[in-house]
Amino acid sequence: MNVAKPLAVVTGASTGIGYELARQFAVHGFDLVVCADERRLETAAGELRRLGAEVVAVRADLALYDGVEQLHQAVAATRRPLVAAALNAGVSTGGAFLATDLADQARILDLNIASTVHLAHRLLPAMVDVGEGRLLITSSIAAHVPGPYQVVYNASKAFLLSFAEALRDELRGTGVTVTALLPGATDTAFFRRAGIQDTLLGLGDKDDPALVAAQGFAALMRGRGTVFAGSLRSRLGGYAARVLPHALTVPAYRRRSRPLRGIRPPVPHGTPLGAGPEGVRGAGEPTHGP
């Protein structure tokens, strides 16, 4: 790798917001370590190399402890200081909580929360040691609204927002900043992978992931704390979700996230893990939705 260029890490970088974030880094003169658990990652890495970046592609499942360690070791192997990281990988599963497979809900916690905390703890010390760094954590507008039919996903995004804001305060004065990116519904594979196409959220208008990424990258480089991203409609929706009472926002979210063809029955007691209702397993969503 060209040691004269700054180095950045992007997770969930095969498609959607993650790929567009990586693209922003590439066109602004960064080399990259990119990670996802999909075959599409190599194609994405090739596209980023054509933009002039040197790219290390790490195919790993960050929902696993060893997957996070694999990525961290790949970063360390570059023997270069890390200037920026965008922790963007995430997953969701739609449907009533009792009708979904517990393993799917556990994967949301493992990927969205545990991997972000784990990777931040691995990457930040080196940034603090040199007194320079930028960390982006992709949360969601959904962080501000308890989400019926996406109860664990929305809770995970609330955790990430709180984590980013608290970490930013702890790191004040170190030269390292933490930015929370809060997109709205974005035109990615999120809705298909979460099994929520058959909802008003899935059927509604969505933002361009390139726009979300450009706004997130600009906020990251300026060292901003929290940024709502996407169209004006989405950003205004984010501010409204933050200030309006849950008595108003939760019923509105329920109407948009409830399956239009009815609610699946709960998984019977004693159903083995991994044998939940058809079509609700998330496949490792690299971008973010509502």
The confidence score (pLDDT) of residue 279 equals 26
Architecture of the domain whose range is 7-257: 3-Layer(aba) Sandwich (3.40)
Write down the pLDDT at residue 192.
Answer: 84
> Which residues 6+ apart lie within 8 Å of 157 measured at CB?
112, 139, 140, 142, 143
21 burial (CB, 10 Å; 0-12 / 13-18 / 19+) is buried
Give the start-to-end residue ranges of the domains of the chain. Answer: 7-257
Report the chain's mean pLDDT, rounded to a whole number: 90
253 belongs to the catalytic site: no
At 18-56, the pLDDT tens digits run: 999 999 999 999 999 999 999 999 999 999 999 999 999
In the set 19, 65, 149, 153, the catalytic residue is: 153
Mean pLDDT in residue range 254-260: 92
Give the DSSP H/E element, type plus range, for residue 86: strand 82-87
